[in-house]
Amino acid sequence: MSNWIEWNGGECPVSEDTKVEAELAGGSFCIKNADYFFWKKFGSYFDIVKYRVVEELNQTPEVKTLRDEFAMAALTGWLSDPSACDRQTTAKICYEFADAMMKERTK
């Protein structure tokens, strides 16, 4: 964890995915990703007084499999249907579609 940095307002000084701890003008402390906070000063209890980096953004890209990509494509189409069932069932169905697409792709 880095040292505290006094903050007078302005543009967000870190990547928006960086986890920071902020002390707010109202006296509270909050740990969230940087994009959660309002970095400019508004004269409110939510203005950042000081902050420190808790966790740097992981620069390693997330690895996605082709199966995940197919499942997301199926999910996107499925969610556009207002009669879609619960999330767990929907995810299962989407991965079944993804498995079928993977099987067709290998033919």
Residue range 11-26: mean pLDDT, rounded: 91
Contact by Cβ (8 Å): 2, 52: yes
Confidence of residue 4 (pLDDT cuts 50, 70, 90): very high
Q: Say how far apart CA 20 and CA 3 lie, in whole Å.
A: 11
pTM of the model: 0.51
Residue range 93-98: mean pLDDT, rounded: 71
> How does pLDDT run across 37-75, given as a tens digit for each residue?
989 998 888 899 999 998 765 544 455 676 666 666 666
Q: At what angle do helices 66-79 and 87-105 cross, to 10 degrees?
A: 130
